[in-house]
Structure formats: structure tokens, C-alpha cells
Amino acid sequence: MKNVLIGLSNNISSHKSKIKVWAKSFKKHSDGDVVLLCANSNNDDIEFCKSLGIIPVPVHVEDTWYINNKRLKHTLDFIENSQYDLYLITDVFDVLFQNDPFTKMDDLYDVFVGSEGLKINEEPWNGDVISKVFPNDLDICKNHEIICSGVIGGKKESLIKLYTKLNEMCENSSNNHNIKDQAALIVMIAKNEVDRLKIFSFDEGWTVHCAIGGPTQFFESWGFKNTLIKRYGGIPYLQDNKIYNHNGNAYDIVHQFNRITEWNEILTKEYE
């Protein structure tokens, strides 16, 4: 199978170390292509990507304040004009890989995402964003899981449909918040608008989103730790330079690890 990892970055020269972690950790575990959509890039940015074996695709983002949702159209354009069996679209600055992320993406589903382990009404940030961007949809989302838009995988045609809708929603929403894509994804899922969707549970080992699942400054004070332990029987932990779930399985994808100083230092050291 021919697979590809896709991300977007602006200010590449300022984020070289983060891009290295993203690309090198992926290449350690997968033989898929790595594509970086290089926003507002120059020749040095392009050459840097090539030196890492990354396929650079220059794109222009006019308003980088809204880069989280402006990346949707550029991602969509790339998917439409490429031919891969499976795609994985992730954030770049805070994602690393511990196993091949495509292994668990089986043929029973067309789109793959990962739950953060809590519901919208159990965590303040996502509910606040939805209330500001899609206020009419907050009630339908309250009891649904938080689904992170920073890691999305799947097959071409289904991702084209998904990203077309996400882009339309974000472009036609209010501008009361500059991060819209995750809210749009949660609303779509709550309304059952994503066909053949696999939501990997917090404890299945595909991805961990450390903003909720890791020991950040809010982990205990906001009650995340206790809720996760009660619901799943344990929490992610660091051992032998990897992040494991409570069942002792290393997560394929670790997202937002940079929010925990110890984890960030240990996980990235290999890729400096």
C-alpha cells in the first residue's frame, strides 16, 4: 500500500527542530511519504524539507491568524490531486510517532480519528469554542466525546468529502475564535455526518492527545485524571522513553507532548 503523512507549517525556519521530530519519527516507523504544505515559504524552507526526505508543497496563506482552518482547503487540494491508499493528516509542531500509524487503520472504515477521553461537558475549552463559532450546535455536542482535529486519517474520497464540509463550515462561521476546525469536526460527528467513521477510544493505543491525557498543569486540578481513571481504568505514562496506555501498549501517535516538559525533553531527544 502507498500511504502518506500530510502536515502544514508556516515560519518553517523557526520550527525546524519540531518538523524534524514529526518527520523523522514517522520515517522510523513507516515507509509512507511525508508531505509538508509549506505556507508562505522561501527557497531555504523548501531545501530544508528536501534534506529531510520531505516532499515540500508551497502554498499561500493570506491570514495566518486563522491558519488552523485555512489549512483545510490546502489539504483538500493536495488530497484531490494525489493518489494514495491511506492518508494521515496531523499537526506538525507537536506530533511524533512511536509505531506505524497506518497499521490500525483497517478496511472496515473510511475515516479515522481519536477521542481525547472526555466529553464536551467535562472540559471547558472545546465547549467554549463551539459556543463562539457554532453556537446553535452546542447543545447537540455537550454529551459527545471530544474529538481532536489534529490527527485525522482515512481514504481519499471520504477525506475529500470530510474536508470539503469542514472548510465550508469554518469559512461560513463566525470569527469569534481563531481555531475553528476542531469545533467543526465535533459538530459533524455529533450530527452523524461522517460516514464509516472509526473513533479510536482513549485506551486503544492509536493516539493520545496529551492536553487532556497527559499530566499538564490542569490534569488534576480540572479533574481530568480522576475521570480518565474511573472511565478507562488508568492513564498514559512515560516508560523507557515512550508513552504507553494503561494496558501497557505504546501509542502509535503522541500529540501535544510538548505541553509536558519532561515528556517533551525525553521524547524528542532522539530526533535532535
Q: 76-113: per-residue pLDDT in tens?
A: 999 999 999 999 999 999 999 999 999 999 999 999 99
Q: What percent of the chain has pLDDT over 70?
A: 100
Asked whether residue 3 is domain-assigned, the answer is yes
Asked whether residue 230 is domain-assigned, the answer is no
Asked whether residue 71 is domain-assigned, the answer is yes
Which pLDDT band, with edges at 50, 70 and 90, does 188 fall under?
Answer: very high
CATH of the domain at 61: 3.90.550.10
pLDDT digits 0-9 by tens, 4-22:
999 999 999 999 999 999 9
pLDDT digits 0-9 by tens, 197-218:
999 999 999 999 999 999 999 9
In this prediction, residue 131 carries a pLDDT of 98
Asked whether residue 46 is domain-assigned, the answer is yes
In this prediction, residue 102 carries a pLDDT of 98
Q: What is the dihedral of CA 240, 246, 249, 250, to 10 degrees?
A: -50
Asked whether residue 160 is domain-assigned, the answer is no
In this prediction, residue 46 carries a pLDDT of 98
Domain span at 13? 1-93
pLDDT digits 0-9 by tens, 54-73:
999 999 999 999 999 999 99
pLDDT digits 0-9 by tens, 21-42:
999 999 999 999 999 999 999 9
In this prediction, residue 83 carries a pLDDT of 97
| Grid-cell match 464540509, residue found | 165
Asked whether residue 57 is domain-assigned, the answer is yes
Which pLDDT band, with edges at 50, 70 and 90, does 45 fall under?
Answer: very high
- Please give the model's pTM, rounded to 2 decimal places: 0.97
Asked whether residue 66 is domain-assigned, the answer is yes
In this prediction, residue 29 carries a pLDDT of 98
In this prediction, residue 206 carries a pLDDT of 98
Which pLDDT band, with edges at 50, 70 and 90, does 1 fall under?
Answer: confident
Asked whether residue 27 is domain-assigned, the answer is yes
In this prediction, residue 189 carries a pLDDT of 98
pLDDT digits 0-9 by tens, 135-154:
999 999 999 999 999 999 99
Domain count, the chain: 1
In this prediction, residue 210 carries a pLDDT of 98
